[in-house]
Structure 1
Amino acid sequence: MDCLRAETYVLDQLRRHLSPTLRYHGLHHTLDVVQQAESLARAEGVTDAEELALLRTAALYHDAGFLTTYQGHEAASCALARRVLPGFGYSAAQVGLICQLIMATQMPQCPGDSHLAQILCDADLDYLGRPADFWPVSQTLFEELSTRGLMPDETAWLELQIRFLSSHYYWTPAATARREAAKQARLAEVREQLKSLADRTI
């Protein structure tokens, strides 16, 4: 499999064709997920070269479905992978695994017992436990959803954040050790911000 050509292809498509209104799901998010997936894989002891290559490919393609659709973008990402990756020398089994990893990131995340899927899911939401990144990154998601009429106001957004952070957990020991404590601190901050907003509107 020619991973470099597969990577070059999808990055070129994302650079040229992603909507600028994808304030959260832009190219920067894909590159961040690739970086975090590789970091977590090292921390989780993944050393098999093929597994690492397939994980990287899945990370690169996991949100490529946004090129054509917003709702159901994971399935669209898999459709793109199935269409183009065989041309880069990926076998049917390899493409199948990549699509399994991509679909695991669909909310609510469902990686099952697949170690690679668990890593990709944790990489996809790594920012939840990064103190410097949580607020600016979450703001871009709020703006992206608001642009599409999917988020009515800040109160609804903070309430959604509380529900999401309260129910989310990291799948891998490495991500839990790195991010869980900071994520809980962000949850406390979101609760305080919602309380402050409610107090101002009374």
Structure 2
Amino acid sequence: MYYDVIQNLGYNLADYYHYHSVRHTIYVEKMACYLAKKMGVADHDLYLLRVAALYHDSGFLVQAEDHEEISCEMVESELPKYNLTDSDIEKVKGMIRATKIPQKPQNCLEEILADADLEYLSTENFDKVSSFLFKELQYFEPDLTLEEWDARQIHFLENHQYHTEFYRKNKENFKQQHLRKLKEKYSLS
């Protein structure tokens, strides 16, 4: 399954998705596994989490708007061939839906995927990764300026919260540093 999903994204995802790319999908899957292990998630639940991470942005193959629901439709049509039960598929769909902004995860697995999806907000790669998102958004909004993008980022960072205790404890401080840096750029601190 891993190879099939990654290959499909690699060959068929539009090249203007600089942020929502194969690289992002692989990274989210890796971070979801990392966080799951920190939280003691294993076995079948870990497998379902990995599946959800792989499929969470596959809807971008069709369109950006409501891509989470399109990803869920793909899951419904593709996962039965991998012998996942209806209950498993519903869990995967719940995790995918938990990545929709604003995030509203309802259980531990959904919290893990939601946090893994936005983990970059608290990393040393924040500037680089957010530049990919800015470039992607400029495709859809050609008049979007860097100042407008930074204002959106400030608003997003001010309103974002990690859902897992592990990320709140270990990542929030780094995210706040990025927020302060952006605010200082515009003398907003």
Confirm or deny a common fold (TM above 0.5). Answer: yes
Q: Deviations over 1:3-49 (max 9, x none)?
A: xxx222211101110111100000000000001000001111213x0
Contact in 2 for aligned 1:111/1:121 (Cα 8 Å): yes
* 1:154 maps to which of 146, 153, 156: 146
The answer on 1:109 being equivalent to 2:103 is: yes
Q: Secondary structure at the match of 1:195?
A: coil
| Alignment root-mean-square deviation, CA | 1.3
Stretches of structure 1 lacking an aligned partner (at least 5 in a row): 1-5, 197-202
| Aligned residue in 1 for 2:120 | 127
Cα distance in 2 between the residues matched to 1:129 and 1:141: 15
Q: Deviations over 1:82-133 (max 9, x none)?
A: 1111011111111111001000110000102x00000000000000000x21
* 1:190 maps to which of 168, 182, 186: 182
Larger Rg: 1 or 2? 1
Equivalent pairs, count: 188
Q: Deviations over 1:23-81 (max 9, x none)?
A: 0000000000001000001111213x010000000000000000111111000101111
The answer on 1:32 being equivalent to 2:27 is: yes
| Aligned residue in 1 for 2:41 | 46
Runs of 4+ in 1 over 3 A off after TM superposition: none
Contact in 2 for aligned 1:111/1:118 (Cα 8 Å): yes
* 2:111 maps to which of 101, 114, 118: 118
Question: Which TM-score applies when normalising by structure 1?
Answer: 0.90
Q: How does 1:1-202 map to 2 (within 5 A)?
A: 6-47=1-42, 49-112=43-106, 114-130=107-123, 132-149=124-141, 152-195=144-187
Stretches of structure 2 lacking an aligned partner (at least 5 in a row): none
Contact in 2 for aligned 1:151/1:157 (Cα 8 Å): no
